[in-house]
């Protein structure tokens, strides 16, 4: 992935007389925004590479309503002017309905307004970022749900190369999560797992955990108790199950209908470089002069892919209704 941004001569010259600190102040917002943009795009691909960023539930004029289970707020927040493509399915060779640009987002209604909806776009079609289809890496969802060939190995021939997919058929609870983990345990999972869920699912699990705790034991006040301050809430939820620990994480990039229980030790990010601003062979040069414009270009780049060495130990939970 490559992101290019430009800086005009006047901005560079205005800070030149102030030394290195002044130049740093003049560029920090540009650099910071580029880093955030790249990190967001990478996070989306790590979850949903080759799976698409949404499924069409209905269309009305230029307004697309996304299927609730396929809605991830982090994907769409701030996506105005993002170019997208609509395909008939995620399969290679699927029909391209057309492309368009995002105009606005309604986070509550889960709708995306575009400038010109392709005429053939219909219910069930899959949305991709423009140019990503068949070019992006397989993300977490694709890896665990794969039933064909992944990384050159056919899942139909090797059971341990096939992930575990279980439907919650409603709200996700500790009991459902623990029962679903029996599937990867049967294939050899013996380590702690990290569970990534949508923020709405995280709230449901927190409520479920709090109810179970309150019904089981009274609250204990330890030495950290402060009579002048009431502190409540949790940053993460830790459960214990047959595999070991389950640490629950809330992520804006997880779609509402899904959750992922993964043994992080089985995953690698492979490739030539993390997110960087350095030019290969010229590590001290971050800016390149534009040929046809009065300014400089700054490039942010990464080359990496998600790899799993044990898909059979990973779990995808579908059918979550929050």
- pLDDT per residue as tens, the chain (322 positions): 999 999 888 877 776 666 666 666 767 888 889 999 999 999 999 999 999 999 999 999 999 999 999 999 999 999 999 999 999 999 988 999 999 999 999 999 999 999 999 999 999 999 999 999 999 999 999 999 999 999 999 999 999 999 999 999 999 999 999 999 999 999 999 999 999 999 999 999 988 776 665 554 444 545 555 555 544 455 667 888 788 889 999 999 999 999 999 999 999 999 999 999 888 777 667 788 888 889 989 899 999 999 999 999 999 999 999 9
Tokens of residue 90, six digits? 């995620």
Q: What gap in Å lies between CA 293 and CA 284, rounded to an integer?
A: 23
pTM of the model: 0.88
- What SS3 class is residue 112? strand
Angle at 24 between CA 22 and CA 28, to 5 degrees: 130
Beta-carbon-side half-sphere exposure of residue 12 (alpha carbons within 13 Å): 12
């Amino acid at each position: 992935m490559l992101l290019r941004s430009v800086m005009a001569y006047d901005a560079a010259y205005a800070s030149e007389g102030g030394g290195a600190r002044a130049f740093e102040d003049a560029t920090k917002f540009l650099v910071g925004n580029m880093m955030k943009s790249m990190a967001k795009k990478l996070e989306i691909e790590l979850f949903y590479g080759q799976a698409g960023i949404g499924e069409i539930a209905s269309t009305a004029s230029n307004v697309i309503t996304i299927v609730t289970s396929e809605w991830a707020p982090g994907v769409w927040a701030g996506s105005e002017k993002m170019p997208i493509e609509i395909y008939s399915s995620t399969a290679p060779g699927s029909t391209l309905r057309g492309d368009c640009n995002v105009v606005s987002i309604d986070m509550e209604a889960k709708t995306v307004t575009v400038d010109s909806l392709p005429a053939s776009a219909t219910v069930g079609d899959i949305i991709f970022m423009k140019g990503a289809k068949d070019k992006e890496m397989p993300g977490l969802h694709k890896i665990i749900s794969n039933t064909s060939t992944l990384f050159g190995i056919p899942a139909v021939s090797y059971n341990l190369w096939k992930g575990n997919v279980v439907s919650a058929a409603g709200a996700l609870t500790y009991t459902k999560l623990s029962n679903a983990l029996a599937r990867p345990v049967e294939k050899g999972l013996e380590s702690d797992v990290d569970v990534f869920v949508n923020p709405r699912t995280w709230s449901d699990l927190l409520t479920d955990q709090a109810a179970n705790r309150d019904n089981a034991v009274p609250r204990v006040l330890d030495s950290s108790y402060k009579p002048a301050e009431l502190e409540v809430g949790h940053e993460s939820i830790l459960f214990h199950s047959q595999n070991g620990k389950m640490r629950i994480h809330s992520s804006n990039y997880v779609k509402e209908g899904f959750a992922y229980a993964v043994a992080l030790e089985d995953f690698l990010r492979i490739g030539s470089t993390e997110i960087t601003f350095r030019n290969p062979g010229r590590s001290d040069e971050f800016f390149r002069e534009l040929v046809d414009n009065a300014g400089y270009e700054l490039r942010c780049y990464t080359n990496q892919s998600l790899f799993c060495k044990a898909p059979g130990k990973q779990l995808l939970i579908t059918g979550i209704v929050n």
